[in-house]
Chain A
Amino acid sequence: MIVADKKPIEEIIEAVRPYGRLLILGCNECVTVCEAGGKKEVGVLASALRMYFLNQGQEKRIDEVTLERQCDHEYLEEIRDRIDNYDAVLSLACGVGVQFTAEKYLSKPVLPGVNTCFLGVTEKRGLWTERCQACGQCILAYTAGICPVSRCAKRLLNGPCGGSTKGKCEISKDVDCAWQLIVDRLKALGRLEDYEKLFSIKDWSTDRAGGPRKVVREDVQI
Chain B
Amino acid sequence: MTTKTPSKLEKILASGQLAVTSEVGPPRGSNPKHLEEKANIIRNHVDAVNITDNQTSVTRLCSLAACIRLKLMGLEPVLQMVTRDRNRIALQSDILGAASFDIHNILCLSGDHQSFGDCATGQNVHDLDSMQLIQTVRRMRDEGKFLGGADIDRPPRMFVGAAANPFADPFEIRVMRLAKKVAAGVEFIQTQCIYNLDKFELWVKMARDRGLTEQVHIMAGVTPLKSAGMARYMKNRVPGMDVPDEVVKRIAGVPKEKQPEEGIAICVETIERLKTVPGVHGFHIMAIEWEEKVPEIVERAGLYPRPQV
Contacts and interface: CB of A to CB of B under 8 A. Distances in A.
Interface in A172-199: 177, 180, 183-184, 187, 192, 195-196, 198-199
Given A154-B84, A161-B110, A167 B170 contact: yes
A170 interface: yes
A155 B111 CA distance: 12
A58 interface: no
A158 B131 contact: yes
A132 interface: no
B5 interface: no
B239 A170 contact: yes
A215 interface: no
B240 A164 contact: yes
Interface string B98-127: 000000000000111101100000001011
Contacts of A155: 126, 129
Contacts of A192: 172-173, 176
Interface string A193-220: 0011011111010000000000000000
Contacts of B169: 160, 164-167, 177, 180
Given A162-B163, A167-B169, A171-B113, A157 B240 contact: no
B213 interface: no
A20 interface: no
Contacts of B115: 153, 171
A159 B129 CA distance: 8
A162 B162 CA distance: 11
A159 B176 CA distance: 11
A164 to B, nearest CB: 5
A156 interface: yes
Interface residues of B, number: 36
A198 B168 contact: no
A125 B255 CA distance: 54
Interface in A60-102: none
Given A162-B165, A170-B240, A201 B126 contact: no
B206 interface: no
B55 interface: no
A118 to B, nearest CB: 16
Contacts of A161: 110, 130, 168
A170 B126 contact: no
A165 B173 contact: no
Contacts of A170: 112-113, 116, 239-240
Contacts of B135: 198, 200-201
A157 B110 CA distance: 11
A156 B83 CA distance: 10
B181 to A, nearest CB: 9
Contacts of B130: 156, 158, 161
Given A163-B240, A170-B113, A180-B169, A196 B180 contact: yes
A71 B183 CA distance: 46
Contacts of B147: 201
Interface range on chain A: under 10, 10 to 19, 20 to 34, or 35 or more? Answer: 20 to 34
A167 B171 CA distance: 10
B58 interface: no
Contact of A196 (B110, B111, B124, B176): B176
B239 A163 contact: yes
Given A162-B163, A162-B192, A201 B180 contact: no
A201 B184 CA distance: 11
Interface in B140-193: 147, 163-165, 168-170, 172-173, 176-177, 179-180, 183-184, 192
Contacts of A171: 113, 115
A183 B183 CA distance: 19
25 contacts: A153-B115, A155-B126, A158-B129, A158-B130, A160-B177, A161-B110, A162-B192, A162-B239, A163-B112, A163-B168, A165-B168, A165-B240, A167-B170, A170-B116, A171-B113, A171-B115, A180-B169, A183-B173, A187-B172, A192-B172, A192-B173, A195-B173, A196-B179, A199-B131, A202-B127
Given A164-B239, A201-B136, 12 more contacts: A153-B113, A158-B129, A160-B168, A160-B169, A165-B169, A165-B239, A165-B240, A180-B169, A184-B170, A198-B131, A198-B135, A201-B88
Interface of B: 84, 88, 110-113, 115-116, 124, 126-132, 135-136, 147, 163-165, 168-170, 172-173, 176-177, 179-180, 183-184, 192, 239-240
